[in-house]
Structure 1
Amino acid sequence: MTYATVMVSLAFDRPNTRRLDVTVKLAELFNAGVIGIAASDFSPPLYYTSGEQAQKLLAQGATLITTRTAELEAEFRAAMQPLGRAVDWRSAVEMPAKYVALQARAADLVISGATGTLTDPFAVADPADLVMQIGRPLLVVPETAGAINLTSMLVAWKDCPESRRAVVGALPLLRKAGKVKVAEIVEDDADHRSAQAGVADVVAWLARHGVAATGFVPEVGDNVAVQLERIATAVDAGVVVAGAYGHSRFREWVLGGVTEHLVTHPSRCALLSH
């Protein structure tokens, strides 16, 4: 398994530098094709208007989207020049998350930026929406991060389908990592022995796929997200691999605490899968 095609989702309303840097690095590492993608839709005004004024606002909005899309395509193509190969660009006047989720069928891995707690759904494909919809692993790249660091990776294990899919989706990266730590955070002492057995199985499974990993199950302690961040810092993890846990409520995605932390307040890259 490898990443034959990497897709990078660009935002209209925030910097894209880090995610583009990471895209170039991974495309070189896996000799992958690259698809750049961006979408935005007209954001309706907060007040009611009609007639000539409404048409004027729609025209202005369309012009802004067209201009910004051209800028993003130019930025993408300039960033990809070191690859020395043809790249693909896709864009649309569409809700970003919906469009990227549809086009993700063409990629093995989707890269997006991290977001804060408040995002404009008309201007950026929120990773919290993407990870639940794309059916592909999602690499979330915070703008504050430097170049992607594969010296050490952390697998945040939980014995559930989402976590299993995340580890499978991360295999190409895990094979490139210098060190891999598999850790499960338990919230009840009674689960400690079971977690140790599960982590040992994952370590053995990874070994059969060419990944040398070690396991760790800490004693019951603080909030799971806090413990996970502490372990990631201790092992100097450049990437955290985790399942994205959540469910739909009134057509809005409600994420678990760890997933929300990894997409809204990341201090390092996170590879997520639902």
Structure 2
Amino acid sequence: MPAPSKAAPPAISAILVHVGPGEDSAARLTASVALADDLQARLIGLGAEMVEPLLATPYSGVNTAEWVAAMAQQVEADLIAARTSFDHLAARVEREWREARDMPAHALALVARACDLIVVSAHPSRNYFHAADPAEVVMRSGRPVLVMPDQAKPLSGKRVLVAWKDTREARRALADALPFLHRAEQVLVLGVCNRDQQGAVQAQVEDVAAYLVGRGVSAQAQVSVAPEAGVVGELNSAADALGADLIVAGAYGQSRLREWAFGGVTRTLLDEPSRYLLISH
């Protein structure tokens, strides 16, 4: 009986990115094209906007019908500009274009069925009728989300920090990140905890690093002692020391009346990213 062949490393075959007419969209698209080119993946560009509701009163002097018509025309013009930008900047990769007259985060969550990864900006320059809220995309899409920091270069991914917490979300993020971890030259699995948890967390991160080594990943384990308020600082300091431009983390949150309430670490990572984040929920 022949020996079973070794399984190929997990791959990313399709990347989804929201495309708009602005400069932050062009930077996000440029980074997504570079990533798709590097991974030999298909890039799905999604143009998605919707007309903002008009908060008008009988005394505002606004003609509602004319305003809605003008805003609808602007949405159509933005979608045309987004398609033009996509065709130009993504010309060198296999690509596909889609459009939706919808909230961008909702549209991305729906189209997520067709992709392995979604790319968003940490701080989109427009409101959520025209740009994707990264927290909403993370929580609704069911896909790993690559959050791009402001003014970032294309992702290198040679050195990666895995932020470990022994939860379902962290395990999901670890599995989703395997295509990146396989390609990395160095991976550090870091647990941050109180001093009385140090022994237990050391055993956890050593388990995770051993699992990754068994999957062909060059991984090491480390524990830092810090209070809850210092977790993000420890993660960023370790990433700086490693030279990592990517942090992998689970997203911990729940819905509260159509808004997402996150744990402190997740919220700080999303609000103040100093490098790329690969987030899964």
TM-score bracket, normalised by the shorter chain, equals over 0.9
**What does 1:56-71 align with in structure 2 at a 5 Å threshold?**
56-71=66-81
**What does 1:146-225 align with in structure 2 at a 5 Å threshold?**
146-186=153-193, 188-221=194-227, 223-225=230-232
Measure how far apart 1:11 and its partner are. Answer: 4.3
Partner of 1:122: 129
Give the TM-score taking structure 1 as reference length.
0.93
Counterparts of 1:128 and 1:250, CA distance in 2: 15
Counterparts of 1:141 and 1:176, CA distance in 2: 19
Partner of 1:99: 107
Partner of 2:116: 108
Larger deviation, residues 13-22 vs 250-259: 13-22
Would the aligned equivalents of 2:20 and 2:79 in 1 still touch at CA under 8 Å?
A: no
Give the TM-score taking structure 2 as reference length.
0.90
Measure how far apart 1:261 and its partner are. Answer: 2.2
Residue by residue over 1:152-194, the C-alpha shift from the partner in whole angstroms, topping out at 9 and shown as x without a partner, is 11001111011111111111011111111110111x2221111
Partner of 1:252: 259
Measure how far apart 1:18 and its partner are. Answer: 2.8
Counterparts of 2:165 and 2:279, CA distance in 1: 13
Out of 253, 256, 277, the position equivalent to 1:270 is: 277
* One-letter code aligned to 2:268: H
Closer, same or farther in 2 for the Cα pair 1:20/1:119, shift >3 Å? closer
Out of 44, 47, 50, the position equivalent to 1:35 is: 44
Look up the SS of the partner of 1:88 in the other structure.
strand
Partner of 2:4: none
* One-letter code aligned to 1:96: P
Would the aligned equivalents of 2:109 and 2:141 in 1 still touch at CA under 8 Å?
A: yes
Query: For structure 1, which runs of at least 5 residues remain unmatched after alignment?
Result: none
* One-letter code aligned to 1:76: F
Residue by residue over 1:20-52, the C-alpha shift from the partner in whole angstroms, topping out at 9 and shown as x without a partner, is 222122212221111001211111233235999
Identity of aligned residues (%): 37
Would the aligned equivalents of 1:19 and 1:143 in 2 still touch at CA under 8 Å?
A: no
* Bigger RCO (CA 8 Å, 6+ sep): 1
Closer, same or farther in 2 for the Cα pair 1:128/1:52, shift >3 Å? closer
Measure how far apart 1:134 and its partner are. Answer: 0.4
Look up the SS of the partner of 1:223 in the other structure.
helix
Query: For structure 2, which runs of at least 5 residues remain unmatched after alignment?
Result: 1-9
Please provide the CA RMSD for this pair.
2.0
Partner of 1:55: 65
Would the aligned equivalents of 1:152 and 1:177 in 2 still touch at CA under 8 Å?
A: yes
Counterparts of 2:187 and 2:263, CA distance in 1: 24
Aligned residues: 270
* One-letter code aligned to 2:161: L
Would the aligned equivalents of 2:164 and 2:191 in 1 still touch at CA under 8 Å?
A: yes
